[in-house]
A = this chain, B = another copy of it.
Amino acid sequence: MDLEPSPLALPFPDMPEIAGATPRVARARYKDWDRCDLTYVELVEGTSVAGVFTRNVCCSSEVELGREQVTLGKARALVVNAGNSNAFTGYRGREAVEQIMAQVADHLGCQPSDVFVSSTGVIGVPLPKDKARAGIAAALEAPQCSWKEAADTIGTTDTFAKGATASAMIGDTRVELVGIVKGSGMIAPDMATMLGYIFTDAAVDPAFLQHCLSAASDRTFNCITVDSDTSTSDTVLAFATGGAGNVPLTSVEDAGADAFFAALHDVCRQLAHLVVRDGEGASKFIEIVVGGAVSDESARRVGLAIANSPLVKTAIAGEDANWGRVVMAVGKAGEPADRDRLSIGFGGTWAAREGQPLADYDEAPVAAHLRGREIRIDVDLGMADGRASVWTCDLTHGYISINADYRS
């Protein structure tokens, strides 16, 4: 992490320990560097797990295995390798993951399927088994570390450590949630990968935990974009240890289920925003609020079309209230829209209403807003009540420098 921190970085929050989840870090030296690059989190027996994974069909062995493992609903350990993504490495890549699962399972006396593995870094190079074996052995002996150290260790090209926390009351029991995430620095010669892990001491049935994580991800992790490219390794896992001793949550009807979901959603939203804040070359954080769509899903698609438009993103980088480019992006989304009902605004000021520029449009407050670091674009499609928020960053020379101005 030799890069300058992103100008949009936020400080790492104070994060509580989570009963039943013990993070440790070690040096596997997957690359020629002197830093911790292997994260190990031991989880108490009875821990529930849920996960969401990349939809990229060229996914890594870790993702293939993880998808199967979460259906079993239980976890005893998480291992995250940084510096080698192990993607596109055929059977040798898969063998390396299975070795790690077996080594940890042997140590804990659990099933290999209770051990979750993620990897991030260069692709096309099988994870070196000897380094993994020694790294795991070192991690099993290492003292407990802080969540900040774990967040630093899962990072690769991230410019700052990313964490979030929240709490909720389930009946009389207070439960804590913490989350760490890495991404979306995609520097030489790697591809973007977002890895996120959430730990809670709440007792939650695996099926309900999966329900909550999927719902929260749809409105957070699936509503961010840096450059429209989708990693082969993206993974978000949630682990619930039950250490808080609450009556286990099994459905949305349970007392405290709403509060738990709200807290999980809050952690996911914070983590997703932190990823955008570390977007390569980002100088502005952009929130796109789409209303008046035919459905929430349609609003999300329109929002992502705007967020992925290089012309919109460069306009924001240039502090230019170019609402014409937003119109273009709305139109290309392929969702129901009507040019003559469309309204577009920046920072709370409408620039165009119902298909035409405002006659009395005052550009001064918009120009002032665009000079800031936190940008808001409002789009009202004027069709129905569907709405969504989407987050992205601007597209700058920094992105080109990071991704083009080097050789792998």
Give me the interface of A with B, judged by CB distance under 8 Å: 55-59, 87-90, 122-125, 186, 188-192, 227-232, 308-311, 314-315, 317-325, 327-332, 334, 336-340, 342, 352, 355-357, 394-397, 399-401, 403-408
Contacts and interface: CB of A to CB of B under 8 A. Distances in A.
A88 B339 contact: yes
Nearest to A58: B331
Given A58-B331, A59-B331, A318-B406, A356 B89 contact: yes
A56 B406 contact: no
Contact of A227 (B311, B334, B352): B311
A59 B339 contact: yes
Q: Is the interface of A mostly helix, strand, loop or mixed?
A: loop
Given A397-B397, A404-B395, A124 B318 contact: no
Given A229-B310, A311-B229, A87 B324 contact: yes
Nearest to A342: B58
Given A228-B308, A232-B331, A308-B228, A324 B57 contact: no
Contacts of A314: 399-400, 403-404
A304 to B, nearest CB: 12
- The 8 A-B pairs at the shortest CB distance, nearest first, are namely A58-B331, A314-B403, A56-B331, A318-B404, A230-B332, A314-B404, A123-B324, A317-B404
B340 A90 contact: yes
29 contacts: A56-B331, A57-B330, A57-B334, A57-B336, A58-B328, A58-B330, A58-B337, A58-B339, A87-B324, A88-B339, A88-B352, A88-B357, A122-B324, A124-B324, A188-B320, A190-B324, A191-B324, A191-B325, A191-B328, A227-B310, A229-B311, A232-B328, A232-B331, A311-B403, A314-B400, A314-B404, A395-B400, A397-B401, A399-B400
Nearest to A323: B124
A395 B404 CA distance: 8
Given A58-B328, A58-B342, A397-B400, 8 more contacts: A56-B332, A58-B327, A190-B324, A230-B328, A311-B403, A315-B403, A318-B404, A395-B404
A170 to B, nearest CB: 38
Contacts of A188: 320
A1 B399 CA distance: 28
A327 B403 contact: no
Nearest to A408: B320
Contacts of A332: 55-56, 229-230
A337 B57 contact: yes
A327 B233 CA distance: 12
A89 B325 CA distance: 14
A256 to B, nearest CB: 38
Contacts of A401: 397
A408 B124 CA distance: 44
A327 B123 contact: yes
Contacts of A339: 57-59, 88
A332 B310 CA distance: 18
A404 B315 contact: yes
Contact of A324 (B189, B352, B400, B406): B189
Contacts of A320: 188-189, 404, 406-408
A318 B407 contact: yes
B311 A192 contact: yes
A283 to B, nearest CB: 10
B308 A88 contact: no
